Amino acid sequence: MKLHIALLPGDGIGPEIVGEAVKVLDAVAARYGHSFHYTPALVGASAIDATGDPYPEETHKICSEADAVLFGAIGDPKYDNNPQAKVRPEQGLLRMRKSLGLYANLRPIELFDTLADRSPLREEVVRGTDFICVRELTSGIYFGRPQGRDDDGNRAFDTCTYTRAEVERVVKLAFGLAMKRRKKLTVVDKANVLETSRLWRETAQQIGKEFPEVALEFMFVDNAAMQIIRQPSHFDVVVTENMFGDILTDEASVISGSLGMMPSASLGDKSALFEPIHGSYPQAAGRNIANPMATILSAAMLLEHFGLDREGKAIRQAVNDALEAGVVTEDLVKTGEAARSTTDVGAYICSRIA
């Protein structure tokens, strides 16, 4: 297969971790006879520094023309809490998602057995955890209008808005994922209070008739937050609105014991973007100490998106081999063991694939 991949390393450790993921993709291409072509582009603080825009038009053109986007991280301390900054790196990420129509964010919550003792939860609770969260990404309270404050500044308001079409497309995607997995879908809402949640529930019930093989359940968001910690193995596919998804996926991400292990995908009708969920970690930039595994696992999701399941599985197995062999960066190193560099970890994973 031939794939054209837009590379957006971004800021901080982004160039280092994306660089290792590209090496792994090249190892996959060599072993399985594929051809991957890469086009780099600017985004975030690096784009502001070069063009004044965190998501330049040239970057959008490259992303739109590519089969997929592999993205690193956005953020730079010089723009944090800086009242002088007219634009911020994070604006580039929001605009990229909206411009590319990336309406569904997928975060797999999977625990590698080797890391069970790193989770803040008890091993017997987290073992067997393997579910995926689907978060609606381009609507809801983060994008609703009107929003603002009254003239005296003492009353603020935000508006949560969803259309049936916006709910349908992400719920159908979630049902499709459930069909490929264990055929169970949990819709998380607050239908006892919110009208938008009642629209979500009503829409999911209607679509569920098209997928009679999928066991459909509904769970209020407060209960879901508790059950993800109490019994994460209960879940298979979880789908929810934007703000609930933002909170729940961050909560669920700690189960693995390290943000450095968490990949994600953002999907639209035409575009697909793959990225680690962690930030730009500017303190580690250029030091060759960042964990590249989340980005490498995001590359595995990229391949699986195009039906290359065997290749994605090969990457996951190689990552597991590195974990079991102790070839890990400082965030995962056990007491008494030596941490390995970013490039060491990438090279080992490549060697296992080859």
Check if 246 is active-site: yes
What six digits make up the tokens of 268?
């639209």
Catalytic residue among 142, 172, 184, 344: 142
Geometric angle at alpha carbon 131, from 6 and 173, rounded to 5°:
60
Catalytic residue among 80, 113, 117, 222: 222
Q: What does DSSP say about strands 215-220 and 104-110: parallel, antiparallel, or unpaired?
A: unpaired
What six digits make up the tokens of 210?
């098209």
Catalytic residue among 80, 113, 117, 250: 250
Give the DSSP letter string of 230-284.
H-GGG-SEEEE-HHHHHHHHHHHHGGGS-GGG-EEEEE-SS-EEEEESS---GGG
Q: What does DSSP say about strands 184-189 and 215-220: parallel, antiparallel, or unpaired?
A: parallel
Q: Which of 291, 295, 301 is nearest to 277 (CA)?
A: 295
Task: Establish how many alpha carbons lie within 13 A of residue 214's alpha carbon, considering only the half-sphere containing its beta carbon.
Answer: 31
- Please name the amino acid found at residue 350: C
Check if 142 is active-site: yes
At residue 120, the 3 state secondary structure works out as coil
Contacts of 300 (CB under 8 A, 6+ apart): 263, 311, 312, 313, 315, 316
Locus of tokens 């349908």: 168
Contact 255, 131 (CB under 8 A): no
Q: What is the distance between the alpha carbons of residues 130 and 328, in angstroms, rounded to a whole number?
A: 22
Catalytic residue among 26, 67, 246, 344: 246
User: Residue 322, exposed/middle/buried by CB under 10 A (0-12, 13-18, 19+)?
Assistant: buried
Whole-angstrom CA distances from 205 to 186, 211, 222, 295 are: 11, 10, 21, 35
Q: What is the distance between the alpha carbons of residues 57 and 51, in angstroms, rounded to a whole number?
A: 10
Catalytic residue among 190, 236, 281, 348: 190
User: Which alpha helices (H) appear in 2-99, and where do they start and end?
Assistant: 14-32, 45-51, 57-65, 89-99
Check if 250 is active-site: yes
Catalytic residue numbers?
142, 190, 222, 246, 250
